[in-house]
Chains A and B, each alone.
Chain A
Amino acid sequence: MKLMPCPVHGERNIAEFVCKGPVLSMPSATHGSPQLWARYLFLAENKAGIIDEWWLHTASGMWFVARRDTTCDEILQTWSIEAYRKERRKKQKTTAQR
């Protein structure tokens, strides 16, 4: 049994979770071009390596983000949505300062 370290429920059987695909930034509903939408919807990077993904805990209906290595299926870290947003903002700030 593979375990998922859920940010709320702790380690649970991975069968309780559903992977909902990589975290992507959605194009603007009003200003996004068809090309941008096609890229967002269909044209995946499909990377072999470390990616951030949406996961859903089906029993509780809770969404969160997990960082996973797509070459070995190892789950490296998980965040609640709030914690993940905070982390992203922090990262954006430091890259902007550079």
Chain B
Amino acid sequence: MPLALLKYALGLGERRRHFPAPQPLKKRYDVLVIGAGGHGLACAYHLAKDHAITKVAVLDKGYLGGGNTARNTTIVRANYLTEEGTAFYKESLKLFENLSSELDINTMYSKRGHLTLAHTDAALRTARWRAGVNKHLGVRSEVVGRAELRKLCPQLNLSCEVRFPVLGALYHAPGAIARHDAVAWGYARAAYRRGVDILQNTEVTGVVVEKGRVVGVKTSRGTIAADKVLQAVAGHSSLLANKLGFRLPIRTVPLQACVSQPYQPFLDPIVVSGSLHVYISQSARGEFVMGGATDPCELYNTRSTLEFKEQLMMHILELFPQLAGANLLRQWAGLADMTPDFSPVMGKTPIRNYYIDAGWGTWGFKATPVCGKRMAECIATDTTPALLKPFALSRFENFALVGEKGAASVGH
């Protein structure tokens, strides 16, 4: 037994805090980040590390990493369909690969390979299209047939005696899973070590704007002045933006997911079917992490429904009949900010020095590192980096949508 553990058990060792104790509010900061999820914390970290801006505070109405960061299904991949999307997520994948050493925390990043199953000729055609775009941009993706699929995932039911037989798949070798909590905690700790304040249980009740320019925020613990403010409050983006008088291209719908009890290692790759609205992977703990389609209408509620489970399990059992006896352990929902073109909204807003990071629908976790890095650049230099330009809020008024059909949980 490690000595530290023994000391701790006997009550002799010092209790090391992962995070700072609650701090008193300061009067002003250079940058305030609203929302202590992965994105907000990553941005604060990169502001301090890359741009030497350390008078930064991250505010959250709850606890850090307690929102959608804790509710996603932890898949990391870059096999998107549009050039804009693929380039963006490619950089994220690269950052994710080195994240454990960069943040000095085990993110349990595990490269598994990612299979997007095709059950129709149309889906196979889209897979070829995605593979083409990916290869062109240097992302490893290829279309595989049934024979290769049998080798890559022997557990998969390739029988033709099912409602939707599998014809082939898009195989994305770098597809991975990571521990979402560790990503948020790692960024929080690394940011804190560089001087960033993390203010949990501090709800933002309003934003102070003077002459079209943001000057501070009102919180449940008093008003704080700031030169620049970033909004990164997935699931509540529209509500905050509406308070400021501008609208976002977002409909908020719940996305439900669940995990089974832990089982012995059984499934190596991540398996996704767009047509069946299913994705499944096995975590390092042995739990099957499963998710399906978003709920059918707008809702600000994280309740779980029987309809979701019925539909999801019907399809999962068609792909993996071996799981018929598996027990569900937990189920939950997150609020997904769906945009009309299945792409995020990042960069400047109609209010000066007020930046936005929103519209992360079902594709937010995998973008955490790149979004933090590039949003920090955007805030520090007040210019939109090339990688973020296609995702500006103004694209909707200019009718220049991105049209990302490689997103998860959406029918295409």
Partner-B contacts on A (CB < 8 A): 1-2, 14-15, 18-19, 21-22, 34-35, 38-39, 41-48, 51, 53, 68, 70-73
**Neighbouring B residues of A72 by C-beta, 8 Å:** 301
A73 and B252 form a contact (CB under 8 A): no
A51 and B340 form a contact (CB under 8 A): no
A41 and B340 form a contact (CB under 8 A): yes
A34 and B399 form a contact (CB under 8 A): yes
Contacts A19-B296, A38-B397, A51-B298 supplied; 10 other A-B pairs, CB < 8 Å? A15-B307, A19-B297, A19-B298, A44-B248, A44-B250, A45-B247, A48-B239, A48-B252, A72-B301, A73-B303
Knowing A15-B307, A38-B399, A45-B238 touch, does A73 contact B299 (C-beta < 8 A)? yes
Please count the residue pairs between chain A and chain B whose beta carbons lie under 8 angstroms apart in the complex. Answer: 63
Q: What is the minimal beta-carbon distance from B246 to any residue of chain A, in angstroms?
A: 8
Cα separation A72 to B303 with both chains bound (whole Å):
9
B307 and A42 form a contact (CB under 8 A): no
**Neighbouring B residues of A2 by C-beta, 8 Å:** 305, 307
Cα separation A2 to B296 with both chains bound (whole Å):
13
Name B's interface SS. Answer: loop
Cα separation A46 to B397 with both chains bound (whole Å):
17
Instruction: Choose from A18, A43, A70 the contact partner of B298 (Cβ within 8 Å).
Output: A70
Interface flag for B90 (CB, 8 Å) = no
Cα separation A91 to B297 with both chains bound (whole Å):
26
**Neighbouring B residues of A21 by C-beta, 8 Å:** 251, 298
Cα separation A41 to B398 with both chains bound (whole Å):
12
Cα separation A16 to B251 with both chains bound (whole Å):
22
Instruction: Choose from A1, A14, A42 the contact partner of B249 (Cβ within 8 Å).
Output: A42
Cα separation A10 to B340 with both chains bound (whole Å):
33
A53 and B297 form a contact (CB under 8 A): yes
Instruction: Choose from A34, A46, A53, A68 the contact partner of B238 (Cβ within 8 Å).
Output: A46
**Neighbouring B residues of A19 by C-beta, 8 Å:** 296-298
**Neighbouring A residues of B252 by C-beta, 8 Å:** 46, 48
Complex: chain B residue closest to A43, CB-CB? B247
**Neighbouring B residues of A47 by C-beta, 8 Å:** 238, 242
30 CB contacts below 8 A, A to B, read: A1-B306, A2-B305, A2-B307, A19-B296, A19-B297, A22-B298, A35-B397, A38-B396, A38-B397, A42-B396, A43-B247, A43-B248, A43-B249, A43-B396, A44-B238, A44-B247, A44-B250, A44-B251, A46-B239, A46-B242, A46-B252, A47-B242, A48-B252, A48-B300, A70-B298, A70-B300, A70-B301, A71-B301, A73-B299, A73-B301
- B interface residues, tally (CB under 8 Å): 23
Complex: chain B residue closest to A13, CB-CB? B307
Complex: chain B residue closest to A71, CB-CB? B300
Q: Which of B305-327 contact A (CB under 8 A)?
A: 305-307
Cα separation A73 to B303 with both chains bound (whole Å):
10
8 nearest A-B pairs in the assembled complex, by CB-CB distance:
A19-B297, A46-B238, A43-B247, A42-B249, A42-B396, A48-B300, A38-B397, A42-B340
**Neighbouring A residues of B250 by C-beta, 8 Å:** 44, 46
Q: What is the minimal beta-carbon distance from B211 to any residue of chain A, in angstroms?
A: 23
B220-261: CB near A (< 8 Å → 1, else 0) gives 000000000000000000110010000111111000000000
**Neighbouring B residues of A71 by C-beta, 8 Å:** 299-301
- Most interface-central of A2, A41, A42 (chain B CB within 10 A): A42
A46 and B399 form a contact (CB under 8 A): no
B307 and A46 form a contact (CB under 8 A): no
**Neighbouring A residues of B249 by C-beta, 8 Å:** 42-44
